[in-house]
Amino acid sequence: MELNKDIDQFDIPLAKRTYLNNPNSILFKKLFIFSPFLLLIFSVAALRFNRNVELIPLNNLKFQVERNLDTRILGHLPYNETPKEKLVLIEPNIQVHMDMRDSLLKMREEAKKDGIYLVLLSGFRSINLQNDIFYSLKSIRNQEAAERARVSAPPGYSEHSTGFAIDIGDATQRETDFETDFENTDAFRWLIKNAAKFHFKLSFNKDNKYIDYEPWHWRYEGSIEALKVFESSNRKS
Ligand SMILES: [Zn+2]
C-alpha cells in the first residue's frame, strides 16, 4: 500500500505535468472539445457555398430563357399564318380555321335563340393583308408604330393570321363595330355570359398593358392546335 501510494503520488503529478503543461496538447484538447461545433460550422459554410455556386448560374439561365422567350413586338406575340388547307369560308368574305367553324356557327345560332344577332366582322387575315392594314393605317392616321400597335397588330403578330380569331359586332348596333362602345351592346353582354361555353375567350381585356381593350375581338381555344397557338399568350397573361 505504501508503495502504491508512492507510485500514485509520483504518477499523478508526472502525468499532470507532462499532459497539461504541453501547449500542443492543450490546443489538441480544445480542438477535440470544439470539433463537433467546428464541423457543424464548416458544414453549414460548405452547404451555403455549394448552394450559391449552383443557384447563381441557374438563376441566370432562367432569366436568359425568359428573356429569349419574350418575343413580343410592341406588346404583340408572334403568330404563324395558318396554311390555306386549314381554312374554311363561313361568309362570302370571312374565312376561319376549320377547327373553329362549327363552334362559332353554333354560338351564333344559340345567340339568335336568345334574340341576340351576332355579326361576324373579320376572321382570318393573311400576313400580307395585316401588313397593308398596319402600315397604311399607320400613315393615314399619322401615327408612330407604337401608337398604331395599341389598336392593330404588326404583320406576323396578329391572332387573325392563325384563323382562330374572330371580330364580332351587334347586328342591331352596327355603329359600335370595332368600337369600345361595343361593350354596351346586348351582343357583348351575351358573349361575356355565354362565349366560354363555345370555347371563345376575349383576347385583349382592360388589364392588357400593351394593347387597347378590344371587346369585339374573340379567340377560339377549343382544340389542341388552338391551345398550342395561344399557349405562350395564356402563360404570360
Ligand atoms: Zn380582331
Q: pLDDT tens, 87-127?
A: 999 999 999 999 999 999 999 999 999 999 999 999 999 99
How far is the C-alpha of 110 from the C-alpha of 189, rounded, in Å? 14
Average pLDDT, the chain: 82
Distance 67 CA to ligand 1 centre (A): 27
Q: How far is the CA of 206 from the centre of ligand 1 (A)?
A: 15
Distance 46 CA to ligand 1 centre (A): 57
- Residue 50 pLDDT: 54
CA of 165 to the centre of ligand 1 (A): 6
CB atoms closer than 10 angstroms to residue 71 = 11
> What is the CA(225)–ligand 1 centre distance, in A?
19
pLDDT at position 136: 82
User: Which class would CATH give 84-236?
Assistant: alpha beta
Least confident of 52-61, 79-88, 192-201, 208-217: 52-61
Q: If you measure from the C-alpha of residue 137 to the centroid of ligand 1, how many angstroms do you get, rounded to a whole number?
A: 15
Cα separation, 4 vs 63, whole angstroms: 79
List the alpha helices (DSSP H) in the chain: 2-20, 23-69, 98-113, 127-140, 145-149, 186-194, 224-236
What's residue 228's pLDDT? Answer: 96
- State what percent of residues in the chain have pLDDT above 70: 70
pLDDT at 17 over 90: no
Residue 34 half-sphere exposure toward CB, CA atoms < 13 A:
9
Find out whether 221 and 227 touch, Cβ atoms under 8 Å: yes
Instruction: Tell me, in angstroms, the distance from the centre of ligand 1 to residue 150's CA.
Output: 12
pLDDT for the residue 28: 60
Is the CB of residue 168 less than 8 Å from the CB of residue 156? no
pLDDT at 147: 82
pLDDT higher than threshold 90 for residue 149: no
pLDDT of residue 191: 98
DSSP class per residue in 176-211: GTTSGGGGGSHHHHHHHHHGGGGTEEESS-TT-SSS
| Ligand 1 center–CA 217 separation, angstroms | 4
pLDDT score recorded for residue 54 = 47
- 181: which residues sit within 8 A by CB, 6+ positions away? 175
pLDDT of residue 48: 62
**Distance from the CA of 167 to the center of ligand 1, in angstroms?**
5
pLDDT digits (tens, 9 = 90+) for 41-61: 666 666 565 555 444 455 555
Among 72, 99, 78, smallest CA distance to 166 is for 99
